[in-house]
Amino acid sequence: MENHKAAQPYAKAIFDLAHERKQLDRIHDDFEALARLVHSTPELEEFLTDPVFDVKKQLTVLADLFKSRVHPLTFTALSFLTERRKIRYLPQIAYEMGKLYAEKNEILKVHVRSAVKMREDQLDKLCAKLKKHFKKNIRALSEADPSLLGGFKVQAGDLIYDLSAHSQLECFRQQVLSA
């Protein structure tokens, strides 16, 4: 939690600057991709978070890796964060920027777990219903969870809609017991 609090002002500043320069989509995408890369590359994560590494060395490596691959504003932000020794918060900054981006664009991220992977048309229908219900654009992450046996669960923020076979059978059991 503390890391997210430290990341919030940096995320807000980068977000506002990107918005002001009409580069918000690109900068958001860059930070999202960078966060995924850091999470999937332990060596890079260690390099960015270990205070033993010299700032100049970090700047040189970041320039070699990213300067030609990200928007100049993204690279300027990375350099700024590195010089201030805040680059270790990159994943949290990306997360906080993602929240700001979703809020601005009225996007609700949902996590759908189903007994078997949903087909694209099924997911599209579910997203259309969720969009109508929440009055927001839906960005869904779908995954198979064989432990559900049947049906699906949708998590939208703090809400969980459990339409799994287990949940339906449990509801039926409660009705039979109370009758």
Return the pLDDT at 95. Answer: 93
Buried b (16+ CB within 10 A) or exposed e, 102-128: beeeeebbbebbbbeebeeeebeebbe
pLDDT per position as a tens digit, 36-94:
999 999 999 999 888 888 999 999 999 999 999 999 999 999 999 999 999 999 999 99
pLDDT band of 1, cuts 50, 70, 90: very low
Q: Which of 17-21, 78-82, 167-171 shows the lowest mean pLDDT across its residues?
A: 167-171
Return the pLDDT at 126. Answer: 94
Average pLDDT over residues 150-178: 88
pTM for the predicted model, two decimal places: 0.76
Return the pLDDT at 85. Answer: 92
Share of the chain above pLDDT 70, in %: 98
Q: Above 90 in pLDDT, residue 179?
A: no
Measure the CA–CA gap between 145 and 125, rounded to whole angstroms.
20
Secondary structure (3-state) at 118:
coil
- 2-103 and 106-178 agree in CATH topology: no
Q: Above 60 in pLDDT, residue 171?
A: yes
Q: Compute φ and ψ for 86, nearest 5 degrees.
A: -110, 5
CATH of 106-178 among 3.40.30, 3.20.20, 3.30.530, 3.40.190: 3.40.30
Domains of the chain, residue spans: 2-103, 106-178
Architecture of domain 2-103 in CATH?
Orthogonal Bundle (1.10)
Of the chain, the end-to-end C-alpha distance in Å amounts to: 46
Return the pLDDT at 149. Answer: 83
Q: Above 80 in pLDDT, residue 3?
A: no
